[in-house]
Structure 1
């Protein structure tokens, strides 16, 4: 995969920035979930945000979950990312279709509409951190910007974009998150706001094949941009048959015994990667046997 995230700082540390190119992982998500163009754009935006926000996590085992529940026809989306920028996700209604927006673009806001964004950070503490905000537009980038402002009090500019080819393959995908730290000068804030208002949309920049480094140079070049590092990002699901078995155990011995009594093998599907796991009746008997021994 050629997808990666650039992490950077500017204005003597008053600004921190992340920019990502994610075409391959969004295309992979589209292919395994067989998503419509609007669903691909919505999921691709949230996957891109998740990859960058995951890379902000400090601990090696930290996990981030972005969950949108909404009343639009897409019904909802869930994305999970780790600190290494491995990301996975799915959309609740992958078949959603809508006419183009008034601007002639994929109407992600119309597919999502109103609802709630949950940001869950599992950092190995007793309880995960949960931030919750209402969706302001359903366009996802604006909703994450609003989340940062209200839930974390971090002034941010979030841009996310997915550009589709006519054959429903992903042409470009990526985005950026630029944040002001608490001690940022008022003059820096005004200058940054002006600069951001002048740049092209993220999809226009991606369509010119501009890299994350070039995109950040456009925005922050006048602020003394310093690229800190580059992190690979990919769609990666860590599900295994053993993990699925633990999920089966959690439903209880009585329910498993009912499956055995039906004398039919079962199939469990992973929402994130769409892998199917088959368990024969004999395997179910072994699961019950092992659970009794524990």
Structure 2
């Protein structure tokens, strides 16, 4: 099945349910950055939750940026998410050494670290952006986002997220679940949600088991009264282009552009968010320089 987001209301419409199958977009991130297993799991989890958070935005012009830095060996994780659920992102050290817990389970918390913060900045088209920051709880990503929603956005939230990679580092399955309790939820509703969360298999296992089944079916299997609101495809997407990079070059000092022409005989720029490379010839650089004169 293709990558998809499913939104639903459950528990008599008192609880929001968000689901994502993100296997392909995490695989694309893995391929673009040559991510080692722990980096793939950490960035993949953040991309998955970021996609769901982006889909929560109300206007197509809105976007958000997630920044995680636990001062672990992976460095920073940065993810941009958009209204349609598309995401892009990177981590500082894609080749971080692989750490394991028991039974070969990747130790994401060890590479992310816990001596730092998770920050979500929302560009809602207003004069100032909304920004919320919380201290990391475990570095395992899911728990950290659950704490963020509850602490920063005052929304009681449960989060389950997972990325399963094979021994060669390729992504077998990836996905996430977010449950948010609305103000009119009853104690019974909360108990039902707690029961569902307690009985959940690892999210990557669930996504693998539902590989040939829609997320709508998964929502209905989790909650008998699931009211499906929307399902839509999602993807790894970066709006970078050669034209944008040319505009970035145009902001450099004239002497720096001249040095690229005379000494380097061209330039190559790499987008941090997607690792796409753009080459500029001497002639193209001269045109950029001439437009500035």
**Alignment partner of 1:50 is 2:57:** no
Selected match of 1:213 from 204, 212, 216 = 216
Q: How does 1:136-155 map to 2 (within 5 A)?
A: 136-155=137-156
Cα offset, 1:85, TM superposition: 1.2
Cα offset, 1:263, TM superposition: 5.0
Q: TM-score, normalised by structure 1?
A: 0.92
Cα offset, 1:192, TM superposition: 1.5
Q: Residues 263, 192 of structure 1: CA spacing in aligned structure 2 closer, same or farther, 3 A cutoff?
A: closer
Cα offset, 1:262, TM superposition: 2.9
CA RMSD after TM alignment:
1.8
Match of 2:96 in 1: 96
Match of 1:282 in 2: 283
Q: Using the alignment, how far apart are the partners of 1:153 and 1:29 within structure 2?
A: 31
Q: Using the alignment, how far apart are the partners of 1:189 and 1:96 within structure 2?
A: 39
**Alignment partner of 1:189 is 2:193:** no
Q: Residues 197, 288 of structure 1: CA spacing in aligned structure 2 closer, same or farther, 3 A cutoff?
A: same
Match of 2:118 in 1: 117
**Number of matched pairs:** 290
Does the aligned pair in 2 maintain the 1:199–1:218 contact within 8 Å?
Answer: no
Q: Using the alignment, how far apart are the partners of 2:29 and 2:202 within structure 1?
A: 23
**Alignment partner of 1:268 is 2:269:** yes
Structure 1 stretch displaced more, 127-136 or 281-290: 281-290
Q: How does 1:77-96 map to 2 (within 5 A)?
A: 77-96=77-96
Q: Using the alignment, how far apart are the partners of 2:242 and 2:140 within structure 1?
A: 36
**Alignment partner of 1:59 is 2:62:** no
**Alignment partner of 1:20 is 2:20:** yes
Cα offset, 1:289, TM superposition: 2.5
Q: Using the alignment, how far apart are the partners of 2:264 and 2:71 within structure 1?
A: 40
Structure 1 stretch displaced more, 281-290 or 234-243: 281-290
Does the aligned pair in 2 maintain the 1:23–1:170 contact within 8 Å?
Answer: yes
SS, match of residue 277 in structure 1: strand
Q: How does 1:107-256 map to 2 (within 5 A)?
A: 107-114=107-114, 115-209=116-210, 211-221=214-224, 224-256=225-257
Q: Using the alignment, how far apart are the partners of 2:2 and 2:33 within structure 1?
A: 21
Q: TM-score, normalised by structure 2?
A: 0.93
Does the aligned pair in 1 maintain the 2:165–2:173 contact within 8 Å?
Answer: yes
1:266-288 Cα offsets, whole Å, 9 max, x none, are: 11001122111112233223223
Does the aligned pair in 1 maintain the 2:13–2:227 contact within 8 Å?
Answer: no
Q: Which runs of 5+ in 2 are unaligned?
A: none
Q: Using the alignment, how far apart are the partners of 1:207 and 1:80 within structure 2?
A: 26
Does the aligned pair in 1 maintain the 2:210–2:218 contact within 8 Å?
Answer: no
Q: Using the alignment, how far apart are the partners of 1:235 and 1:20 within structure 2?
A: 13
1:219-257 Cα offsets, whole Å, 9 max, x none, are: 322xx2101110100111111111111222233434334
Q: Using the alignment, how far apart are the partners of 2:103 and 2:9 within structure 1?
A: 34
SS, match of residue 132 in structure 2: strand
Does the aligned pair in 2 maintain the 1:199–1:219 contact within 8 Å?
Answer: no
